[in-house]
Structure formats: C-alpha cells, structure tokens
Chain A
Amino acid sequence: MAETTADVLVIGAGASGAALAWSLVETRMHVVCLEQGDWVDPATLPGTTTSWELRQVGDFNFSPNTRGRREDYPVNDGDSPIAVSMFNAVGGSTILYAAHFPRLHPSDLRVRSLDGVADDWPLDYARLEPYYAENARMMGVAGLAGDPAYPPKEPPLPPVPLGKLGMTLAKGFDRLGWHWWPSDSAIATRDYEGRAACVNAGTCLVGCPQGAKASTDVTYWPAALRRGVELRTRCRVREITVGPNGMATGVIYYDADGVERRQKAEVVVLACNGIGTPRLLLNSRSPQFPDGLANRSGLVGKNLMFHPYAMVTGLFEEPLEGHKGPTGCCIMSQEFYETDPGRDFVRGYSFEILRGFGPIYTALWGMTTGRLPWGAAHHRAYAELFDHTAGLVAICEDLPEPTNTVTLDPELRDADGIPAPKITYRLSENSTRMLAHAVARGQEVLEAAGARATVVESPLRLAGWHLMGTCRMGTDPRTSVVNPWGRCHDVRNLFIVDGSVFVTAGAVNPTNTIQALALYVADTMKRNLANLFDDDP
C-alpha cells in the first residue's frame, strides 16, 4: 500500500482533537486523526445496567491504572497527592467527564499583571470569546444568561435542573449573601442537534447512553466525519519523526494489531492532554532534539497543574432526591474566585455543587469515612446517609511550579512497550492555604443550608482530571513551548491544542477553554495557510 501524506495529522480524538479536526476540514485538506482508544458503544455504558455504580470503580474507573485497558497507558502517579484521571477513546476524557462547562474569567489570563504571580497568557478573554461561543453551539451548552461573575454570554440551552438538592443548597448561599448561579453544563437539556434531551439519570461520570452529555464522540466527531476527516482508532503513536530541516515529518504508531506503521504529514497536531502530550514529545528524541522534541526551552513536562480539590459533604435531615439530575452540574459559586488581599493566598476557587450518592456509593463512602458500621447498627446508620447527603467541591487554582513535572518513567511501559509518564507533584503552600479556606467556607455554607454535620475530604486524591501547563504558550521561546497560537517554537509544523498549553489554570473545569483554544488555533491556521511556517511577527 502506497504511503500517503496527510495534510494535517491530529494525534488524539478527545476534546481538543475533535474540535480542531472539525474546524480544519473545511479547508479541504486531508485531515487524519490517530486515536489509541476506540469508539464507545452507548448501549454498553454502565448506566444501562443496575451495576453502574460498581463499574465506576471497575472497568469505568477514572484511573487508567485501575482500568488497565489495552488502550490505556499506565501513569506512575505515586509521587503525587493527586492521582491522574483520564479516559482513552473517541471522545477522550469527555466520555467520563461531568460536563461542567465554565469559561475562564478575564482575570485568569492576566494573573501576573493583576496579582503579581505566574505569567500572563499571550491572549485575552476577548480573543477567546468568539471561540467559546462557537464551542457552546457545537457542544450544546446549557446555562442561564446574566451570571454577574462573567462578562455577558448566552448559553444556547436552558440550565440543568437544580432539583430539591440544588435549591436547598442555593438557599444556604443566599443566607450568607454569597454568589451562586446555575452551572454552565455541556448537557442537552432539550433535544439538540440530533442528541436526545437529558433524562436526569445521574450517570454522567460513567458515560451518557442518552447522548445528552456532550462528549465529542456525539458532538464534533459525527460532523467532522461527515466533512471528510479520517479517524483511525486503536492506533497508538510512539514518536513524532523529524527531517533534516528539523520539521516534523510524521509519526510512527502501532495499529490495532500492534503492527508498527508510519504516517507522513505536512502538519502534526498534538491533542493528547497535559500528560500524554509531554510524554510523546519526550519519547520523540533525535540528534536534533536530544532532550525531546520541541524542548529546547526545557519546559516540556514542566509546570504541571492540576486543580486541587476539596470535597465537603453535608448530612441533612430531609431527603434530597440526590440521585436525580446530572451528576456534577447544578450550581457554581464564585464568591471566592478573585484574589482578595485580605486572605492568606492569591487567586481563588469555585464551589461546585454535587448531586447525592447512589445506593452503592453511599455505602462505600460511609465505610471509608467511618460513618457506616457493619453489623447490627448498619441499617440505622445507612438510613441516615442514603439520600441525605449533599456535597460540594472546591476547585482551586493551581499556580505553575517548574518542580511539578511529567517525565518518563525509567521502567514503566504501556502494552506497546512505549515508556510511560511519571508524575512528580507537590501541593504548594498557596494551594494548601486555599484548600483550608475552601473547606471552612464549604462547611459554613452547608451548615447554612441546614446540614447537621459535614465530612471533609481534602485534597481529593482521584481528582487529577485537569491536566495543564506542561507545554505552555508564550511569545518567548526561552520561557514557553508554543507560540500564542499553539505552534511549537522549535518545530514550525508541530502544534499543540490540549491543556498542555495553559499558562495558568484558573479555577474552573478547563474543557471549554481547551476546546475554545483548539478552535482558535485551527482558525488561525486557516487564516495563515500560505505562511503557516513563517517566523512569528
């Protein structure tokens, strides 16, 4: 078979790869995407079974290490208080995400100027805004206009229901005079673009059989494939190859049968998340790039940011119907989002209200928190927990630290023998103080809402969903990996569009911003096809 050259080769079919591929294909270029996972059959998702909660800790576990599927790669996260969560499939981690879909604040992109920490992004909110709006249309964002915590925005769908649980907690925020607002959620609250409306089944975190939750396998990908993007699944890229001129020439990958293949490309785009992208770059060593591809700055894999999470759960006298409704989305409070000089930390956090626990998770949570005995006292204690819990998480802004890193593990490898990533991460003093503040305020608002007791888990370990900062963007090749529109400083036909390019993390779920950035990068590429590889102006 003759080896063809793709015009654009996208690695990864998750949130950002899907958005970029969809956008670029209107150029009539030959866009190929390689994805190590496969399509997920909605009929096989756990929510169609009565064992769905058990499967959340088994074959649909957030951790690739626990799932251990063929398409997963192991992550050595033993040297981190936060464990890495991700999913490998068409749709990537959007298959399992909660679809919380907030935007960054304008201030998030200007933290050096405003607060004297970290660095400013090389673009601002106004630049991203049209892409946020386009992404909202493509993903189908539910929300309510008028949130005073944001510049004006118009979600195309009505907000997800708050339900009895949400209204109970909203009253708590009101009693304290704190900000709250119905969350922006990438969930179809009515039939939308061929997707059926959400039925409030509460199984978002193990995938949505309804297709109401906007994972990219049901949003961007159908449209991209209709437009002509070629998507090859179960293809795991081992390394990006470079030519004598230092430009990327394509990739070497293993196909579904484990056979080594090569794919040439004029342009390569990395969309592998904040762990997978530095891993692949570090695995792509050559005489021209002995420290890893596009790593002349030494910053590939540095400045890893998660969002440290604290979880506070309230126990209430009244039943709350907590099993109803989209799992992670209900209310967001940004009362403590912006920097306040009166606090002992800079930057801030959001509160996100969670639904209650299902029957199995109630028992397991009760066991691990010491609130559910076995034996004769079991049923009485369980009755006090089941449908009587409502919780919130504080999602804290993590500042970039060069000592928080993704490197290659010297021994661990995936099923194809490719070196696996190793995480080295410490909570900063700032994050530690912010978590403590968030826990105290979380307890306060739950008690204001009527909780008779609260249970604290901080930091949450299996909460490393948001993988950011490991190939950050900037104008200076000495202090950044990619330029302001995602092109690697060192390799001008290599682009990065996932969370790696974040300069700072904000204190909101990043998927919306990751996709807005991918659309922005794609748009910029389209506008500059004639001089795509020229010097930066």
Chain B
Amino acid sequence: MTDNGLTPEEARLVTALLDTVIPPSDDGRLPGAGALGLVDHVVQTLRAMPLLRPVVEYGLGALAERGFAADIAPAERTALLAKFAAADQLFLPAFLFLAYSGYYQHPRVVAALGLEPRPPHPKGYPMGPDDLRLLEAVRRRGRRYRDAAAPAEQGRGRPSVTRS
C-alpha cells in the first residue's frame, strides 16, 4: 500500500493511464502526465468528489481485466483504452477530468504554457491602458434607449409615499 491508499500495482496502473491520455509532447516541452506524480491528485480529488469514485474504480478494474497495464506498449494501451471508452461512456470523461485538473495546475506545465506557476492572488497581472478612441464611432451613432417614463411618475424627484 502506498501513502495515498493505492497498492503499488494500482498506482502504476493510474500512472500508465495518465501517460496514455496525456503523453509527452513531441517536442519534449511538455511532460507526460504520468511523469508528474499526479496519482496523489487523483486520489485526493476522488475523496473530495466522492460521486466520481465508483465509476473511476470500476473503470480501472475493468481496464486491468482487459490487459491494460504499465508494462505493455503505449500503442497497445491507447488501443485498449479507446476500445473500452467506446463501450463505457462514463469512465473516460471522469478520468480525463482528474487528469486535466491535475496536469494543468502543475508548475512545470503552467510554466511551459508561458504563465508564472503561482496563485493568481495577490500579485495578479498587469494590464496596459486601453485605446478607447474606438468608442467615437459608438458615440456618433447616438442615443439608443427609449424614453419610457410612466405618466404618473414623470417629473417626480426623490420619492416619498408620505400620505396626505
């Protein structure tokens, strides 16, 4: 049993599956998901979203039964996963959610996308001034709203319902 509660075999299976859905990029700039240690993320997210757990656990077991394993060729893993996903509409979207949500917040990936790997707050992002001269065309087209004062309300200032 590993620290995250999975057996070593289960952890290898999840890692292989992560690498299958997000393999390394051809140019080597982006790692495969299996290389980022996302198994803990998968487990923690399933704990936080327990409704996903049965479908993911079922899918992992079913794939293992069909021969999906860490030690088979990547092309064979891809073929097995595609075949399983064609017959089971639930597992793959759930697993992709887990994979994408972990992969695309990982510092290595975020940096490779050109962003600073940090929380948005408190630093935020600088933005330059806008050229609002474009609005001149909108102004030239003139007023667009309809005059719609109710007859009984027209001419009233600050309201009062004080009775006479």
Contacts and interface: CB of A to CB of B under 8 A. Distances in A.
Interface string B144-164: 111111100110111111111
B101 interface: yes
A102 to B, nearest CB: 12
A72 interface: no
B110 A58 contact: no
A459 B158 CA distance: 40
Interface string B115-147: 101111111111111111011011101111111
Interface stretch (A201-209, A426-434, A437-445): A201-209
Contacts of A151: 145
Contacts of B22: 374, 378-379
Interface string A311-342: 00000000000011100000000100110000
A528 B103 CA distance: 60
A161 B139 contact: no
Interface in A192-230: 198-203, 209-210
Interface residues of A, number: 82
Interface in A81-128: 105-107, 109-110, 113-114, 120, 123-127
B78 A375 contact: yes
Given A106-B146, A146-B139, A161-B127, A375 B21 contact: yes
A247 interface: no
Size category of the binding interface on chain B: 35 or more
Label chain A's interface by main secondary structure.
loop
B7 to A, nearest CB: 25
A50 B121 CA distance: 9
B105 interface: yes
A199 B122 contact: yes
Given A179-B138, A199-B123, A127 B144 contact: no
A47 B142 contact: no
A528 B139 CA distance: 43
Interface of A: 45, 47-54, 57-59, 105-107, 109-110, 113-114, 120, 123-127, 130, 144, 146, 148-151, 161-163, 166-167, 170-171, 174, 177, 179-182, 198-203, 209-210, 323-325, 334, 337-338, 359-360, 362-364, 367, 374-376, 378-379, 386-387, 484-485, 520, 523-524, 527-528, 531, 534, 537
